[in-house]
């Protein structure tokens, strides 16, 4: 499957927890001649007595931390909701979903393909929490999509179409009923009282490493789950967004491994952390949807191996969010001190500290945490897959399980060794991390981390301000001025409003002025799609 390589910087005008999207406001908020009643589809809440029993056993067995139950539905604009057709030829479609007493709802789409100009939003009925606009830049090969958590037990889905005859695909087939681990929308602490926020002084020497760690929300066969993980650097140091977590995070309570389609709907939340040491609420965070499988062992299914899962994010986090690609060591020498950085119980990012040499087991390191100035960091459900760092500030393992807790501060935790991840359970590319991170062992065993690369398209607002199209409208030739923003290994594609390519693509490095012949195009609106190795963005223009 082709790796999907678009992204946009996360922007949102209403709430601070922004999902990958273009800043926008639902068109219905500004229109006064719409149907006032949005119909809601009622979804039966799960039997929480059954869920609690299942979770108690799974948590005790060290399984991934489930926090949502999937409710099946079948919602499409053709069969559900309400349409409003506006005088300018545009249209708005809306539908609501409700499941009583949910902490939050997540929307999962089995069909998703938007054509240029279409905007999709999701928001709470009181309009206090809005995500979107999602556009054609959110299309991927698998035609799937997922949203971050929407607080409360009701959510409204809205689609704006600039031309009522415009074609698109959208089908909502599952809604996650979140019932725990959603402090992001509850604005309250979900982890234990002993945990230490990364913004505290304990994190002062680890500021770079903290930026690489993210919270994952995974969709699996029997629900949605939470784990932690980290961006990791590779020997080319080219900011390929490889992301390392635990294999058991990819397997459901019932033992079913993640599918390619489900992995495309995982969400990765960066910068989800408090702004004060005593804070319980995150500042602005950034969510990216989807990943592509690269390698793993089978620990989640049969406890064989060191418990690693390596994927590549479908979206390269832009430089604007300040990501960090953590370094690593596959050497076998036990670390003498360091930290673990993680999202316990799905909460804001925490840090745990150790000051004695790691215990050495065959496939795992053992660690016991110590009290520090602002608490006594431990791990909890949701911490699984998170990195443990050595005294040199590089990753030496990922969390599998353990006994530490705020009521068991001296309990030991166990991290799968990076040295065992390295060799994996076979020599093929899907069985070890070596193939992806350093296939020739050129690093000699260790690689330091790095900040975001500056090449490529990393900030849509900046791009649109610094790549200039003229004349607009164009009659004979469209000039594209890259003088203020150079593109390496790029492709220029002209599409019509339906997304069809209408001119031969141009490829190469673009640093000055490029001209495209538009004399054969009919008058109307078109899009210039600029693609690089890391991203793509479209810019509209008119032909006279």
Q: Where are the alpha helices (DSSP H) in 270-319?
A: 299-302
Q: CA-CA distance, 49 to 37, in Å (whole number)?
A: 34
CA distances from 51 to 46, 222, 223, 541 (A): 8, 11, 10, 52
Helical spans, DSSP H, in 242-368: 260-263, 299-302
| Strand, helix or coil for residue 59 | helix
Structural domain spans, the chain: 17-185, 194-451, 460-543
DSSP 3-state of 18: strand
> How high is the pLDDT of residue 166?
93
Digit-coded pLDDT (tens) for 156-199: 999 999 999 999 999 999 999 999 987 645 455 689 999 999 99
| Residue 356 is among the residues annotated as catalytic for this protein | no
Q: Which of 293, 284, 449, 272 is nearest to 344 (CA)?
A: 272
Residues 6+ apart with CB under 8 A from 503: 493, 494, 516, 517, 518, 520, 521
* Catalytically annotated residue among 153, 191, 230, 248: 248
Pick the CATH number of 194-451 from 2.40.50.140, 3.60.15.10, 2.40.10.10, 3.40.718.10: 2.40.10.10
Q: May I ask the CATH architecture of the domain 17-185?
A: Sandwich (2.60)
Pairing mode, if any, of strands 104-113 and 150-151?
antiparallel
Question: What sign has the CA pseudo-torsion 71, 77, 78, 81?
Answer: positive
Q: Model's pTM, two decimal places? A: 0.81
Query: Left if phi > 0, otherwise alpha if psi is -120 to 50, otherwise beta: which for 449?
Result: beta
Q: Does an H or E element contain 100, and which?
A: none
Annotated catalytic residue 238? no
pLDDT tens track, the chain, 544 positions: 222 222 222 222 333 345 667 778 999 998 877 887 999 999 999 999 999 999 999 988 889 999 999 999 999 999 999 999 999 999 999 999 999 999 999 999 999 999 999 999 999 999 999 998 999 888 888 899 999 999 999 999 999 999 999 999 999 999 999 999 876 454 556 899 999 999 999 999 999 999 999 999 999 999 999 999 999 999 999 999 999 999 999 999 999 999 999 999 999 999 999 999 999 988 889 999 999 999 999 999 999 999 999 999 998 888 778 899 999 999 999 999 999 999 999 999 999 999 999 999 999 999 999 999 999 999 999 999 999 999 999 999 999 999 999 999 999 999 999 999 999 999 999 999 999 999 999 999 999 999 887 544 445 555 676 788 989 899 999 999 887 677 777 889 998 876 778 888 898 888 788 999 999 999 988 889 887 755 567 788 889 8
Cis amide linkage into residue 188, ω under 30° from 0: no
pLDDT score at 32? 75
Q: How far apart are CA 429 and CA 515, in angstroms?
A: 42
DSSP string of 430-447, one letter each residue: TS-SHHHH-TT-TTTTEE
Q: Which of 307, 347, 413, 458 is catalytic?
A: 307
What confidence score (pLDDT) does residue 14 get? 34
Q: How many CA atoms are closer than 13 Å to the CA of 323, on its beta-carbon side? A: 30
Residues in the chain: 544
Q: Is 368 a catalytic residue?
A: no
Q: The domain at 460-543 falls in which architecture?
A: Sandwich (2.60)
- Distances from the Cα of 238 to the Cα of 131, 234, 250, 455, 460, angstroms: 30, 7, 26, 9, 20
Which residue among the candidates 99, 191, 384, 404 is catalytic per the annotation?
384
């Amino acid at each position: 499957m082709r790796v999907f390589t678009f992204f946009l910087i996360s922007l949102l005008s209403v709430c601070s927890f922004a999902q990958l999207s273009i800043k926008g406001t639902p068109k219905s908020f500004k229109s006064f001649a719409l149907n006032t009643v949005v119909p809601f589809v009622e979804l039966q809440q799960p039997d929480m007595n059954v869920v609690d029993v299942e979770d108690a056993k799974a948590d005790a067995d060290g399984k991934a931390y489930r926090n949502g139950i999937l409710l099946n539905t079948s919602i499409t604009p053709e069969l559900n909701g309400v349409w409003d057709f506006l005088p300018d030829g545009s249209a708005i479609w809306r539908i609501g979903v409700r499941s009583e007493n949910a902490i939050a709802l997540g929307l999962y789409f089995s069909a998703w393909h938007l054509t240029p100009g279409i905007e999709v939003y999701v928001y709470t009925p009181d309009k206090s929490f809005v995500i979107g606009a999602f556009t054609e830049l959110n299309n991927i090969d698998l035609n799937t999509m997922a949203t971050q958590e929407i607080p409360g037990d009701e959510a409204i889905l809205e689609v704006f179409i600039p031309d009522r005859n415009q074609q698109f695909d959208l089908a909502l087939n599952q809604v996650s009923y979140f019932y725990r681990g959603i402090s992001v929308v509850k604005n309250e602490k979900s982890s234990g009282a002993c945990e230490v926020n990364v913004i505290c002084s304990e994190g002062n020497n680890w500021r770079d490493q903290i930026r690489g760690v993210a919270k994952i929300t995974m969709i699996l066969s029997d629900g949605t789950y939470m784990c932690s993980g980290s961006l990791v650097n590779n020997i080319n140091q080219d900011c390929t967004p490889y992301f390392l977590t635990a294999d058991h995070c990819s397997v459901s309570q019932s033992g079913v491994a993640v599918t390619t389609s489900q992995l495309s709907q995982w969400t990765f939340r960066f910068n989800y952390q408090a702004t004060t040491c005593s804070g319980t609420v995150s500042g602005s965070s950034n969510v990216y949807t989807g990943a592509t499988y690269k390698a793993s062992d089978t620990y989640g299914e049969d406890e064989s191996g060191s418990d690693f899962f390596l994927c590549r994010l479908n979206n390269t986090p832009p430089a604007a969010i300040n990501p960090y690609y953590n370094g690593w060591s596959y050497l076998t020498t036990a670390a003498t001190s360091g930290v673990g950085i993680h999202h316990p119980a799905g909460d804001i990012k925490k840090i745990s500290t150790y000051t004695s040499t790691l215990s050495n087991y065959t496939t795992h390191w053992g660690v016991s945490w110590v009290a520090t100035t602002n608490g006594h960091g431990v791990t909890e459900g949701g911490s699984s897959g998170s990195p443990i760092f050595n005294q040199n500030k590089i990753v030496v393992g990922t969390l599998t399980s353990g006994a530490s807790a705020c009521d068991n501060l001296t309990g030991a935790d166990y991290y799968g060794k990076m040295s065992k991840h390295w060799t994996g359970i076979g020599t093929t590319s899907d069985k070890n991390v070596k193939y992806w991170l350093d296939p020739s062992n050129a690093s000699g065993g260790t690689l330091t981390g790095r900040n975001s690369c500056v090449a490529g398209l990393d900030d849509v607002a900046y791009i649109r301000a610094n790549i200039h199209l003229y004349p607009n409208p164009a009659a004979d030739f469209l000039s594209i001025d890259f003088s203020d923003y150079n593109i390496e290994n790029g492709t220029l594609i002209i599409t019509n409003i339906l997304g069809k390519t209408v001119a031969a693509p141009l490829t190469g490095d673009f640093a000055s002025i490029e001209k495209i012949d538009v004399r054969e195009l009919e008058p109307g609106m078109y899009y210039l799609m600029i693609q690089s190795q890391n991203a793509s963005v479209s810019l509209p223009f008119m032909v006279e």
